[in-house]
Structure 1
Amino acid sequence: MKKTVLTIAALTLLATTAQARTWDEIKQSGTIKIATEGAFPPFNILEGKKLTGFEVELAENLAKELGLKVQWVTQPFDNLLIGLQQNRYDFVIASHGITPQRAKAVDFSNPHYCTGGAIVAKPGGPLTAADLAGKSVAVQVGTTYLENVRKVSGVGDVKTFPKDTDAQAALMAGRVDAWVGDKFTGLDLVKAQKGKVKAGALLFNERIAMAVKKGNSSLLKELNSALDKSLNNGSYAKISSKYFGEDVRCRN
């Protein structure tokens, strides 16, 4: 999914001179600290006090491959990469789309899934980019969805919300004409609402990856190795099938 240019600039200013924990230091401690949002179903979501979702299970699988215990940290989406710069955790897995701007602030792993920004609307509502002309759109703040909606020619009022679930609720309440967000989240919304909304076209495609602090090459190498093992030994496919009914890995 997700970060605005302003936030990326702030990340550069907030970068600490202190070094992130290296792979050897993490391995010696026996525990890896992982951050996510916990408010982006089906990828990461707090259900009561339990953190679950595709990315949560995948990260726990990777930690198991690496022989580590997991300590989870949840943060509002806009704070996640800032906390990474401040060494508050070792890596972030929270549906961050790989963009050139973000790649200046953090180092990305190999992508752990591919997706796109989808339009969802009530029957008769806008379902293509052209249909968004003059229409109001709900989108989560600080995301690549917001950036891409603003690029649509003639788009009307773009309303931002702190959580994606808030943006979805605005659509269901009729306060906006459409919602734009992750295509898999959109499919879940359509399924849950049983005909009250319809999935439309994709505005863009994107590759999603985990983020480590800039320069933490030793940890990045281990994460990529663990991800490769998961993709090849069937564990990734099993987790993906549980949440999506298909394998959502990137194919190219």
Structure 2
Amino acid sequence: MSIPSAARYLLILALAVFATLGPARPLCANSPAGATEPKWKEVRIASEGARPPYNYLDNNELAGFEIDLGKALCQRMNVTCHFIMQDWDAMVPGLLDHQYDAIMAAMEISDEAREKITFSEPYARMPSAFVTARKSQLKDFSPAGLAGKAIGVVAGGAHQAYVEDVYGKSDIHTFPTLEDAILDLAEGRVDVVMGDKDEVTDFLDKNKEGQCCRTVADVPRDPAYFGEGIGVGLRKEDKELKSMFNKALADIKADGTFTQIRAKYFKFEID
């Protein structure tokens, strides 16, 4: 059966239009036109499992503050998390080798580390604290208030540098360990000890010798001595993932999720 010339002309015209426009592509009901699929659907996070309470092993599984925090961040980013245990010395090389995508291992943000990787905003800034004997009447821990007083610190670290520069009118005593400093504090050989608040609190809570003393005040934060804090380590090129972590961190701090996780592991503020 032959097709009339007029009908044949209309059919050819319709086929030409179809070829030009292509088949119709239905839009997903919850995806606006022009939307792109997110790049990150899974994120592999490395941790050491050797720095409690930040990270440790529980029945050979990674656990701790950073693991709970990482899970909350991944949930907020709407990605699937996989946690990978990694030795500290291989932590940054493994990230750069794409063995995982992020590091949450109590890693301090520093200029030296930034030469190779980048960081999210800090999620922990460990305060330093002053410790005195329970019977001490000291109340002023400013440089003027501790002028002439004996301050104990662990030798060779940030606290020694800080007290030598800021508390120049005090008598500075250095010790091999925090325990040695607190034992001298208990014996009255120093008036006050300065140390990281997590280490100080842990010692006072878990050791009989710690019953002598108490934390009395936080040391004013000075990044020049005590650093910027702890953040998520990331490859420099993964700018989208960095933005995702930063937004998720801001969100869980705003809605109280961060505080709930922090309170499980620390008795004091760390951010």
**Into which bin does the TM-score normalised by the smaller protein fall?**
0.5 to 0.7
The structure with the largest alpha-carbon Rg is 2
Equivalent of residue 208 in structure 1, options 215, 220, 230 = 230
* Equivalent residue letter for 2:241: L
2:106 counterpart SS class: strand
Flag the 1:129–1:235 CA change in 2: closer, same or farther, 3 A: farther
Mean alpha-carbon deviation: is it higher for 79-88 or for 217-226? 79-88
From 243, 251, 256, the counterpart of 1:229? 251
Tell me the residue number matched to 1:69: 80
C-alpha separation between the residues in 2 aligned to 1:67 and 1:60? 10
Q: Gapped runs of 5+ residues in structure 2?
A: 1-36, 132-148, 165-171, 182-193
Query: What secondary structure is seen at the aligned counterpart in 1 of 2:126?
Result: strand
Unaligned ranges ≥5, structure 1? 1-22, 121-127, 138-145, 159-166, 172-179
Give the drift of 1:48.
2.2
Return structure 1 stretches of 4+ with deviation > 2 angstroms.
23-26, 76-79, 116-120, 128-132, 146-158, 167-171, 180-183, 194-206, 245-248
Change (3 A) 1:157 1:190: closer
Residue 95 of structure 1, CA deviation:
1.6
Rounded Cα–Cα distance in structure 2 between residues aligned with 1:85 and 1:181: 34
Cα separation, partners in 2 of 1:32 and 1:185, compared to 1, 3 Å:
farther
Structure 2 SS opposite 1:95: coil
SS of the equivalent of 1:218 reads: helix
- 1 CA distance for matches of 2:234 and 2:240? 10
Give the Å deviation of 1:33. Answer: 0.5
For 2:235, the aligned partner's letter is K
Partner of 1:242: 264
1:104 shift after superposition: 2.0
Give SS of 1:35's match: strand
Structure 1 residue aligned with 2:205: 191
Structure 1 position 100, deviation (Å): 1.6
Partner of 2:123: 112
Per the TM alignment, residue 44 of structure 1 is displaced from its structure 2 partner at its CA by 0.7
Residue in 1 that maps onto 2:28? none
Query: SS of 2:209's equivalent?
Result: coil
Using CA pairs below 8 Å that are at least 6 residues apart, which structure has the higher relative contact order? Answer: 1
Per the normalisation by structure 2, the TM-score is 0.58
Distance 1:78 1:181 in 2: 26
Indicate the residue corresponding to 2:139 in structure 1. Answer: none
Letter in 2 for 1:187: T
- Output the aligned Cα RMSD: 4.0
Change (3 A) 1:131 1:192: closer
Tell me by how many angstroms 1:130 deviates: 5.8
User: Equivalent residue of 1:111, what SS?
Assistant: coil
Name the residue aligned to 1:83: 94
Alpha carbons 2:203, 2:210 under 8 Å: kept = no
**Cα offset, 1:184, TM superposition:** 1.5
Deviation at 1:56, TM superposition (A): 1.0
Mapped to 2, the partners of 1:33 and 1:170 lie a distance apart of: 40
CA distance in 2, matches of 1:181, 1:37: 24
Q: Quote how far apart the aligned CAs of 1:147 are.
A: 5.8
Q: Which amino acid aligns with 1:148?
A: A
- Shift in Å, 1:170: 11
Count of residue correspondences: 201
Measure the CA separation in 2 of the matches of 1:199 and 1:77: 33
Tell whether the 8 Å contact from 1:37 to 1:76 is kept in structure 2 after alignment.
Answer: yes
